[in-house]
């Protein structure tokens, strides 16, 4: 498991899901820049989740998903989008990862 891949999945998702142009459409992720402060805050939250959820993240990988997708699901779940850990058919594992994610608000 690689933390940088987890973080990249998270950042890609946040740019896709939270960035809007004037018309309200999602921006494409390419070419966007984050401030140092924003990236540092994302990295702190991702690192904290990563460190605390090592056992469940390894189980997540065994479900056939990759670690970048785990970062993506962390982003979606903590921000209460219509998809995330809870709807991947993971049962109790998905429930645990969802509860851990939503603690971040």
Above 90 in pLDDT, residue 34?
Answer: no
- Computed over every residue of the chain, the mean pLDDT equals 88
Q: Comparing 24 with 16, which gets the higher pLDDT?
A: 16
- Per residue in 57-101, pLDDT (tens digit) is 999 999 999 999 999 999 999 999 889 999 999 999 999 999 999
- Select from 58, 55, 48 the least CA-distant residue to 78: 48
Number of residues assigned to the chain: 105
**pLDDT given for residue 104 in this prediction:** 93
Q: Where are the chain's structural domains?
A: 3-102
Q: Using N-to-C axis directions, what is the helix angle for 3-18 and 67-78, rounded to 10°?
A: 40
């Amino acid at each position: 498991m690689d933390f940088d891949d987890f973080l990249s999945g998270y950042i890609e998702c946040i740019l896709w899901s939270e960035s809007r142009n004037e018309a309200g459409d999602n921006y494409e992720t390419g070419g966007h820049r984050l401030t140092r402060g924003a990236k540092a805050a994302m990295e702190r939250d991702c690192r904290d989740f990563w460190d605390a959820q090592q056992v469940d993240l390894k189980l997540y990988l065994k479900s056939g998903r990759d670690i970048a997708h785990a970062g993506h699901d962390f982003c979606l779940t903590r921000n209460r989008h219509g998809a995330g850990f809870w709807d991947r058919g993971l049962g109790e594992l998905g429930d645990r990862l969802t509860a851990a994610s939503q603690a971040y608000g």
